[in-house]
Homo-oligomer: A and B are copies of this chain.
Amino acid sequence: MKTSLVILLLVCGLVYADDQLSESSSECLDCHLSIHPGIVADWKNSRHAKTTVTEALQLSDLNRRISVDSVAADLSAVYIGCYECHGLNSADHADNFEHFGFSINVIVSPEDCATCHPQEVEQYSESKKAYANEILAENPLFNSLVEEITSVKSVRAGAVVHGKVRQNSQNETCYACHGTKIEVAGMLTMETEFGEIEIPELKNWPNQGVGRINPDGSRGACTSCHPRHSFSITMARKPYTCAQCHLHPDVPAWEVYKESKHGNIFQSLSSHWNWDNVPWEVGADFTAPTCATCHVSLVTGPGEEIIAERDHDFAARLWVRIFGLIYTHPQPKHGATFKIKNSAGLPMPTDFEGNTADAYLIDSGEYVLRENKMRKVCQSCHNAQWLEGHFEKLDETIAETDLMTRAATNLVKYAWNNKINNGLNPFDEPLENLWIRQWLFYANSVRYGSAMSGPDYATFKNGWFEMSSNLKQMENMIKLTK
C-alpha cells in the first residue's frame, strides 16, 4: 500500500502543482527531480512534504512534533519544501550562494531546524554530542591519541617513523562520527546539463557527524539521526541509526543490545510495532525498548501518563558515565568536556588513580535524579525485585571494571617508572596499546554488557576473558622486554 503511494506521489511529482507547496520549492523540483530523483522521492515520502506548520499546531501538546508556537507568515501555510529549509538565515551561512535567482544554503543546520524545533535544538546544543568535534579537537591528550592512530607511518632501518598528521585520515575515522569542521574554500565551477554553474567549494565535506561545525557556526547535524530528506522519527527510533557510531569495540552499545533480551524481542517482533506514533506508548506501540525509548523519546503509558519526557540531550537520563576515561565517573555537567581539569591539570574527568574532577561533574542530587528517570522507564516492564537486582549488579560491575583498569594502569606506570617504556607519549608503544584496549575496549564492553544485559559481551567477546588475558599479556610483555 505504502509502495503504491510512493509511486503515485512520484508520478504526481512530474506534474506537481499542489498549491500548498511554495512557488520557490516548486521551481527547485523542476530541475532536481530529474538530477537527484532519490532526494526528491525521499522528501515526498516525508511528513514535511504533506504538512504545514498551521496543521502541525492543531495537534495537542502530547501529539505535537514541533516545539514552536508560531512561525513567520510565509512559512506557516506551506508544506516544508526545499526552499523553506535551504533558504533560511542566509546571512549567517558562509555556504550561501546565488543559484538560478535563489539564495541557497548548501547545508541546513540545527540553527535552521530550530525555526520549528527550537526545544530539541536547545536541548541538543549543550550536550556532549553537540561538542563532539571540540571534545577531540580541543583536548591535547585526545589529539595525541588520534595522531598515534591516524598518522601515516613509514619504516627506516627497521624502525617505525611517524609521518605528519593528516586531515583526511582523521576525517575518515574519528571525525566521521564526532563531526568535522566544514569550511568554505571558495567557489567551484561545474558543467551541468543546465549550463555552467558556480557552487561553494566545501572542505571536510561530506560529513554527518553529531558534532559537526557548520558554515553558520552552529554545532551538530540533525541528519545524523533523521537522515537526508525524510527527517523520519521512525529512523531515529530504530537502533540501526544509533548503531552507526555506538558500536564495537569501543562503545559496543549496539552489539550488546542485539544480544540482550530487548534486542532479541526487537529483532523478532518489531515489524508489527508502531514506529511513527507521538507520543510513543509502552505496550501499545512497542513491546521492548530501542535506544530511543530509554534515552530520548517521549514515552507514555496507557492513560497518556508520561513515563519519560522527550529530551534531545542524550545524557538527560544518564547518571554515571560508563564510557571510562579512563575510569567511570558521574556525567559531566556540560557537553564541552575539553574544559574539564583533573587533579593533574589534564582535561580528563578522572586522574590516573581514579579521582574524579568533581567540580565539572554532576553532583549526587542530580545523579540520583537522573538514575530515577531511567528506573521509571525500566519499571514499565520490570518489577521492583528486578530493578533492585539489575542496578545493584551494574554498580558492582562498574567498581570491578574500574579495578581492572587500575591494575592495567599500574602495570604501565611500573614500566614507565622502571624505564621499560617511555611515558612521554602514553599511547605510542605496544604495552601502552594493550593498556588502551583494557579501558577503551574491554572494561567498556563489560560495563555495556551489564547495563544492557548482553552477557556474551561481558564474557568472551571483549569481556572478562580478554580483560584478564590482556593483563597477563601486559605482565608478560614487561618480563620479555626487561
Footprint of B on A, CB under 8 Å?
Answer: 2-3, 6-7, 10-11, 13-14, 33-42, 45, 106, 148-155, 157-160, 163, 166, 168-169, 171-174, 176-177, 188, 190, 192, 199-202, 205-206, 208, 227-228, 230, 232, 234-235, 238, 240-241, 243-245, 247-250, 258-261, 263-265, 267-269, 271-274, 282-284, 287, 301-303, 305, 379-386, 388-390, 393, 396-397, 400, 403-404, 406-408, 410-411, 414-415, 418, 428-430, 433, 441, 446, 449-450, 453, 455-456, 458-461, 463-465, 468-469, 471-473, 475-476, 478, 480-481
Query: Do residues A269 and B153 form an inter-chain contact, with CB atoms below 8 A?
Result: no
**Do A168 and B302 contact each other (CB < 8 Å), given the known contacts A154-B407, A433-B469, A472-B429?**
no
Query: Do residues B475 and A150 form an inter-chain contact, with CB atoms below 8 A?
Result: no
Query: Do residues B407 and A153 form an inter-chain contact, with CB atoms below 8 A?
Result: yes
Tell me the smallest distance from the CB of A242 to a CB of chain B, in Å.
9
The dominant DSSP class at the A interface is helix
Cβ contact of A456, chosen from B247, B303, B460, cutoff 8 A: B247
Query: Do residues A265 and B36 form an inter-chain contact, with CB atoms below 8 A?
Result: no
**Do A465 and B418 contact each other (CB < 8 Å), given the known contacts A36-B380, A243-B264, A282-B41?**
no
Can you list 21 A-B pairs with a CB-CB distance of less than 8 A?
A: A3-B272, A6-B272, A10-B283, A33-B302, A37-B380, A38-B287, A40-B283, A149-B464, A154-B407, A166-B400, A169-B397, A171-B393, A172-B455, A173-B458, A176-B455, A200-B385, A228-B261, A232-B268, A235-B264, A238-B264, A247-B456
Tell me the smallest distance from the CB of A468 to a CB of chain B, in Å.
5
Tell me the smallest distance from the CB of A192 to a CB of chain B, in Å.
8
Tell me the smallest distance from the CB of A56 to a CB of chain B, in Å.
22
Chain B residues with Cβ under 8 A from A460's Cβ?
A: 248-250, 441
Query: Do residues B37 and A283 form an inter-chain contact, with CB atoms below 8 A?
Result: yes
Given contacts A36-B381, A248-B461, A429-B472, 17 further A-B contacts (CB under 8 A): A11-B302, A14-B302, A38-B282, A42-B283, A149-B459, A153-B403, A154-B406, A158-B411, A172-B393, A172-B450, A177-B456, A205-B386, A227-B265, A232-B269, A240-B258, A241-B264, A433-B469
